[in-house]
Structure 1
């Protein structure tokens, strides 16, 4: 098939969204039939703070054939086994959202039901004691879990700017054409209303059949060119600002992200090889920028390396993620605040869904409607998970009190009611966060159900106690054999 007959895919915007999309599309489509062009401007740049991820990034890298050690070395990255939550719920509370479970089902009963039965008998061991990932992470250790007997998953921390450059090399190596330039205007087809081409400041015209908007919050194509309405979720997710700054890394290299609640919001700490990424997330109507800055700078572990930057955001999404012949990837289509590191997750899942529903030059609206349907459900499930972190808090300060007073979505209310009444996690379709994740947040915030599964009474209490103790001791013993996170990086993937 010659170039005239090729389907033209145009990606506007680089950064993680643009280059993940470009690389995955180039790797997973027949390049004889499809030509991919990415337009980005060095003038615009990207938000280059430390980036935290979830395990789907390991799947993305595997699809692209990226060697993990080379990737970590090139992005000055580190490994992540979960998120440590400090002072959430109440001051002094600490719990861990691990990328692992709490043990295998026994007679089709989840381990946490046996834990709940022990708790009712007076055993006060936290649920985290039965998480293999937590046992490894709390000692600042790391090694990939044996794929033949996987006990936990891992994700990454990395420098966002270095990550974009790394993916750019991967994508251009796969045949993606890069054009440097800033879009000045666009052409819409008079009959269909589709985007026909984008025009650059240098006078270049880039026509296309399918456009991916990867321009971040600006949403130049999906939002501005096609005037796609925005669905505002700020009534549920009250934070609207973040202030971020890098600092010199001190102390042991943590294999986890730390999230610390404050009077007016929460602070992230993302450990990289060469520095820490730090940020404060807050509501600017309830906490001033100056107060947030003071709280951030007053809690840095090391020397400040650059002036803090303030970002404004509104949680929500475009009414359609795919409108006409344009698909928004990443922040161009949706944004959920930084909690739980969902940004890159939604970029990857957005592209993977597109690959499953990839259109011909003439777009079948059935594919577009299905993409919008499943993406909306996926995002609503993640939204509920994030709302729960705030809604369950018992902190007295204005943000936390206001978060308790919101009228939560019916889907989240249903989950919480089922949990409190039965100890069951009522998972719906297209959930990103499965039972262990919900358990970590619910039990970590002290939300203990009224009962446990009746089948957990089939075994004598002492037998359950002995079985749980065997698991706990085996976790401790095995975790102690794992090398330190620093030593693993020094041996296999230390950045120059």
Structure 2
């Protein structure tokens, strides 16, 4: 078969790039692309001071550290500029059932054997009454519960951050402009496209400026002006699995020392976040309008916060799901314009920055390759689906039957991919990690055990250990965790000294 020549649009070198929109998404891609490719690209970011960003994605996961290393961000400066604190995981309160909590940490629990994970040996220990709670064997969990933190040698303590999203965008903007990014103030009035190729040719601003480029990055949030309105890329709606469609957010003054973990508190028709920063606390209630109205949701949130209000409650609407394509033609969508998964596992900033890195790995400097576009979309879709399943797990596997919301969550049909993971763990105690999947085996284990799934059996490797050997094995791990935690300083004391430059990492 004779190979057809590529279209002129596909082979045209990319030299001019326009980023539509600021916020965390816009300035994340601006910082990274200017840092890596700024010497060969002309990059402009358009944003309007009149358009308010969502600005509530204030908890992160450890993958953020890799992105910060890429752009050579100074951690101490970043923490001072964004009023950040450290985060070791998430405490899920009332999720398994009312007044039944569990913790999803960023660490690894216990010590695995090459034939089987630690959970099998722990399970055997539970049967023999030799083991304590699963979390007792996890350093990050015990440090979080003790309110302690420090950087340890060899990255022994896995962590992420709580941060002020508005200040974070400002910090990334400052970095980006130092790398040569041009910022243009204005609103986008019209997106011009080429009738023959469907590619975007320019953005017309309210000032009359017509900004042309070879490649466009859509960071316009839920509006999705480029990928949705102009490129006509459809949206996959996942609300049949993820019922929540709204959030009400508010900030409060700090009235207690910042703890090194996020609180996720389940309520009658959704859940509440509590994110402690150095200077304030971020609060919000994620809920489904099918089960609770806005007024009652706001009352629920305000009845469950601490400290005077810094801001007035703000309602945010969303539709869980993703675009049918994240990259179409000469346009890539990042952040909310590409899709949305509620912030239950703090993946919003991760999804932005992971796709930024993916874009840089496949950047079409010499022309857009349909094969690269297809691979980018395949990887993005797969990652969103893995995270989607992980979030559905929290809702579906629950003993709560106290409200219609939770009864419907527990009885809904779930994706076959998730059902397989649940069945595998329940029957055998085994878990697996799909290629390039965000959440590792220990994350799935912590949440499934926390939600009440106890495996029916364990691997036979655990049976080869006698009681004395197994007890010694478990006690040694637990003892080492306790000793390390006891040596750590209080979290907020460490944050203040570290962010003020009084110590080195």
Q: TM-score range by the shorter chain?
A: over 0.9
Gaps of 5+ in 1: none
Alignment equivalent of 1:475, drawn from 460, 477, 481: 481
**Structure 1 ranges of 4+ moved more than 6 A:** none
CA distance in 1, matches of 2:294, 2:45: 36
CA distance in 1, matches of 2:458, 2:14: 58
Asked if residue 391 in structure 1 is aligned to residue 396 in structure 2, the reply is yes
Alpha-carbon deviation of 1:362? 3.0
Alpha-carbon deviation of 1:430? 2.7
Alignment equivalent of 1:458, drawn from 450, 453, 464: 464
Give the aligned partner of residue 499 of structure 2: 493
Q: Is the 8 A contact 2:122 2:131 kept in 1?
A: no
Q: Is the 8 A contact 1:187 1:197 kept in 2?
A: yes
CA distance in 2, matches of 1:107, 1:411: 25
Q: Which moved more, 1:281-290 or 1:165-174?
A: 281-290
Alpha-carbon deviation of 1:326? 0.5
Give the aligned partner of residue 57 of structure 1: 64
CA distance in 1, matches of 2:398, 2:459: 26
Aligned alpha-carbon RMSD (Å): 1.5
CA distance in 2, matches of 1:109, 1:145: 27
Q: Which moved more, 1:471-480 or 1:49-58?
A: 49-58
Alignment equivalent of 1:299, drawn from 304, 329, 340: 304
Q: Deviations over 1:153-188 (max 9, x none)?
A: 111111111000000000111111111111000210
CA distance in 1, matches of 2:477, 2:213: 57
Q: Is the 8 A contact 1:84 1:95 kept in 2?
A: yes
- The correspondence of residues 84-483 of structure 1 with structure 2, limited to 5 A, is 84-123=91-130, 125-146=132-153, 148=154, 150-360=155-365, 362-396=367-401, 397-483=403-489
Give the aligned partner of residue 27 of structure 2: 19
Q: Is the 8 A contact 1:266 1:281 kept in 2?
A: yes
Q: Deviations over 1:412-445 (max 9, x none)?
A: 0111111111100132233110111001100111
Secondary structure of the structure 1 residue equivalent to 2:17? strand
Q: Is the 8 A contact 1:210 1:361 kept in 2?
A: no
Alpha-carbon deviation of 1:404? 1.2
Q: Is the 8 A contact 1:47 1:160 kept in 2?
A: no
Alignment equivalent of 2:17, drawn from 9, 16, 29: 9
Give the aligned partner of residue 45 of structure 2: 38
Alpha-carbon deviation of 1:392? 0.6
CA distance in 2, matches of 1:215, 1:97: 32
CA distance in 2, matches of 1:433, 1:473: 27
CA distance in 2, matches of 1:426, 1:155: 24
Gaps of 5+ in 2: 1-11
TM-score by length of 1: 0.96
Give the aligned partner of residue 3 of structure 2: none
CA distance in 2, matches of 1:439, 1:433: 10
Q: Is the 8 A contact 1:6 1:33 kept in 2?
A: no
Alpha-carbon deviation of 1:361? 5.2
CA distance in 1, matches of 2:309, 2:167: 20
Alpha-carbon deviation of 1:47? 2.2
Q: Is the 8 A contact 2:13 2:367 kept in 1?
A: no
Q: Is the 8 A contact 1:145 1:153 kept in 2?
A: no
CA distance in 1, matches of 2:39, 2:258: 46
Alpha-carbon deviation of 1:330? 0.7
CA distance in 2, matches of 1:56, 1:124: 31
Alpha-carbon deviation of 1:106? 2.8
Give the aligned partner of residue 69 of structure 1: 76
CA distance in 2, matches of 1:58, 1:107: 28
Q: Deviations over 1:445-493 (max 9, x none)?
A: 1110100111111111221111111111111111011111111122121
Alpha-carbon deviation of 1:56? 1.1
Alpha-carbon deviation of 1:295? 1.1
Secondary structure of the structure 1 residue equivalent to 2:204? strand
Q: Deviations over 1:287-346 (max 9, x none)?
A: 111221111111112112221011111100010000111100011001001110111000
